[in-house]
A and B are shown apart, each in its own frame.
Chain A
């Protein structure tokens, strides 16, 4: 069984561009979590999705950030009009159900020029 797959591993964008981060959960997992890790910090929760539904987006910035987990395909974290402060590592985790152990991907390192 493949683990959580995130791509790209590294993403470079210029200020004002859009960033799209993808996460394919473990096969059979229908719950996805996104976390952000700023330099020298711990991971901070952003959003929790279950197929086609957002369960908790309390950690998501109100503007420019959105997330989806469609019925088919990977979960996408989208950042519009990126700014320097968006530079961070973005981790995705998946679980088979709410409250079940979360399996992490290797993260996407986003750099903003």
Chain B
């Protein structure tokens, strides 16, 4: 079974600074997807960024980028130029690339990010 580990429960960053959120995972599969979701106090689940394991290039979405290290099974999220609206809980998630019963998402416990003005 796949597992996702987010070992830092909380992090804090100064507005306009850069912060990196860590995530590691365990799987025996070679093809899969990794995601970062943001959950603000409204509790919506917002997809921030997605990485396909077969792609070596790290995904980027505006101020958000990932450092995907497949051999180390590490998938960290970097937020540049942090804004007050980035304050939220962030979840790392894994999904198998195979279809059918394996298409569920497996989430980490999350990390609470606070942004200091």
Residues on A lying within 8 angstroms of B by beta carbon are 31, 33, 35, 41-45, 48, 55-56, 58-59, 89, 91, 93, 95, 97-99, 101-102, 104, 106-107, 109
Which partner residue on chain B sits nearest A3 by CB separation? B44
B50 touching A42, Cβ below 8 Å:
no
A104 touching B99 in the complex, CB below 8 Å, given contacts A33-B105, A42-B108, A48-B104 = no
Contact pick for B99, options A35, A42, A99, A101, CB 8 Å = A99
Q: Write the chain B residue with the least CB distance to A103.
A: B47
Question: What's the Cα separation between A31 and B95 when bound, in Å?
Answer: 15
Enumerate 6 A-B pairs (CB-CB under 8 Å) in ascending A order: A35-B107, A42-B108, A42-B110, A48-B101, A107-B44, A109-B43
B45 within 8 A of A: yes
Is the Cβ of B104 less than 8 Å from the Cβ of A45?
yes
Closest 8 CB pairs of A and B: A42-B107, A98-B99, A104-B45, A99-B99, A56-B101, A45-B104, A43-B107, A42-B109
